[in-house]
Amino acid sequence: MTSTEPRPDLALAILDAPETVASRRGLRDQVAALQERLRQVLEVDWAPEVLAAAAVVPVAERPRLLDLGELERVRDDLVAALDAVRGAVLARRARHAENRALLERMFDDPDAHRGVRLTTDDLGLPGCCRWQVAPVLGVVGRLAGWWRVKVSSGCP
Amino acid sequence: MPDVRAGEVDPVLLAEFGPLELWTATVVVVRAAARAGRERLGRLSGSFHAAERIRERGGRLLDVAYPTFERQTGLDPAVPPTALERGAREVVVTGALASTHPVDDVRLAVLAEVGVPLTALDAAATIGPWRLTATRGEPYSDGTPTTAGDLVVADARGPVTPVVGDPPRRLAAGPRTREVVLCAVRVPGIESWEVSEAVWRAANYLAGT
């Protein structure tokens, strides 16, 4: 029996011709490779907006033996999700770079950045530290125009 | 000591997926399993790095081979298919693996220890031998409908649980189940011994051996 002939022992008639077992297995391998790539990207950048970009509408409600068209849809959805995740990661990194530059400007010229506040999350750093441009000595500093970057002591 | 057995796998599924296996064990739950289960989860809560594992495994607690298999069978692996795993992710917030009843405590402990998802069926509702197959649309033995092509574990009377996800409530083992059928599916990407060992480990926990 050649690989293109229908398999009488296949559970579902819809899965027989013209598609083949080999083509479905090839697609499952592609799906597995894409899933692994997606997992690796998420492992490096585990953030809500990145996770949201990885969302895919499932093809089935219960585990099923998918036909060729369904497997192609799973693969295409995964490719799209991977692109979206990479886009989200790049956007996030660009935002972090902008915020780091802003933090440097805050230190260089606090008076020009009154009240600006950044957190470790804004900078893509671990922990829960906070940088805020605040007046020295409260109201006195506010009236006198004495501003500085105050660094929080981190997590409680 | 509980006997772990390999179930039959439909040749069609072997042709489609490659190395699929079904491992089962039937075990009588001893009284001491409840307390031992709570204590085991207490110990695990102190050593289980759930957040790290969730990050490494794309939001899941189990071996990465299982989310891949879920994707290949049409599911979205971002959402854990079992109530047990969905609840277990709360450990990141609460810091503790919550105890419910002996059977689920053991399933949760094995999930945390080896990352293999176990299904527990009420032995009074199903009779072996069990096999891994695709349905032709026949319902579960409690009447729950299936669609043709659903991947299930079946006994002689019909499907008893999906290969991924929770079994119908009437067939699932609960707090008062005396005898339990444990089953786990080996999917491509995970070693056979890891899955059979997970079933063996759970069976020994429940049997108190």
Residue A156: predicted pLDDT = 62
Distance from CA of A99 to the nearest CA of B (A): 25
Is B116 within 8 Å of B63 (Cβ atoms)? yes
* Mean pLDDT taken over chain B: 91
What pLDDT was estimated at residue A124? 85
Locate the domains of chain B by residue range. Answer: 4-207
pLDDT digits (tens, 9 = 90+) for B180-207: 999 999 999 999 999 999 999 999 999 8
Query: Which two three-digit tokens encode residue B117?
Result: 């998802």
Pairwise CA distance, residues B63 & B42, whole Å: 22
Which of chain A's residues have a Cβ under 8 Å away from the Cβ of B57? 39
Question: Residue A81 has what pLDDT?
Answer: 93
The span from the CA of A74 to the CA of A31, in Å, is 7
**Stretch B130-149: mean pLDDT, rounded?**
91
Determine whether the interchain pair B56/A38 forms a contact, defined as Cβ–Cβ distance below 8 Å.
Answer: no
Supply the pLDDT for residue A37: 93
What is the pLDDT at residue B25?
94
Q: Does A38 touch chain B (CB under 8 A)?
A: yes
Burial class of residue A94 (count of CB atoms within 10 Å of its CB; 0-12, 13-18, 19+): exposed
For domain B4-207, the question of CATH label 3.40.1350 is answered with no
Residues in chain A with CB shorter than 8 Å from the CB of B150 are: 62-64
Per-residue b/e over B50-73, b at no fewer than 16 CB within 10 Å? beebbebbbbbbbbbbbbbbbbbb
Q: Do A58 and B136 touch (CB under 8 A)?
A: no
How buried is A40 (Cβ within 10 angstroms: 0-12 exposed, 13-18 middle, 19+ buried)? Answer: exposed
Grouping H, G, I as helix, E, B as strand and the rest as coil, residue B14 is helix
The pLDDT confidence band at residue B21, using thresholds 50, 70 and 90, is: very high
- The widest CA-to-CA distance across chain B, in whole angstroms, is 46
Contact list in A for residue B59 (CB cut-off 8 A) is 42, 51
Q: What is the pLDDT of residue A16?
A: 52
CA R_g for chain A: 26
Measured between beta carbons, the chain B residues lying within 8 angstroms of A36 are 64, 68
Dump pLDDT digits (tens) for B142-163.
889 999 999 999 999 899 999 9
Q: What is the pLDDT along chain A (156 residues), one digit of tens a residue?
A: 444 454 445 445 455 544 588 889 999 999 999 999 999 998 888 888 888 888 888 999 999 999 889 999 999 999 999 999 999 999 999 999 999 999 999 999 988 888 899 998 888 888 888 999 988 888 887 888 788 898 887 666
Q: How confident is the model at residue B61 (pLDDT cuts 50, 70, 90)?
A: confident
Neighbour-count burial of A66, counting CB atoms closer than 10 A to its CB (0-12 exposed, 13-18 middle, 19+ buried): buried
Q: Which residue has the higher pLDDT, B30 or A10?
A: B30
Chain A residue at shortest CA distance from B153: A63
The mean pLDDT value for B122-146 works out to 91
Pick among B9, B76, B185 to test the A interface (most A CBs inside 10 A) = B76
Indicate the pTM of the whole model.
Answer: 0.84
Interface test with B, best of A7, A64, A72 (most B CBs within 10 A): A64
Q: Which residues contact B183 (CB under 8 A, 6 or more apart)?
A: B7, B22, B23, B24, B25, B118, B119, B121, B130, B153, B161, B199
Using beta carbons and an 8 Å cutoff, which residues of B are at the interface with A? Answer: 10-13, 15-18, 55-59, 64, 67-68, 70-78, 81, 133-134, 136, 146-151, 162-165, 188-189
Query: Predicted ipTM?
Result: 0.88
Chain A residues in contact with B132 (beta carbon < 8 A): none
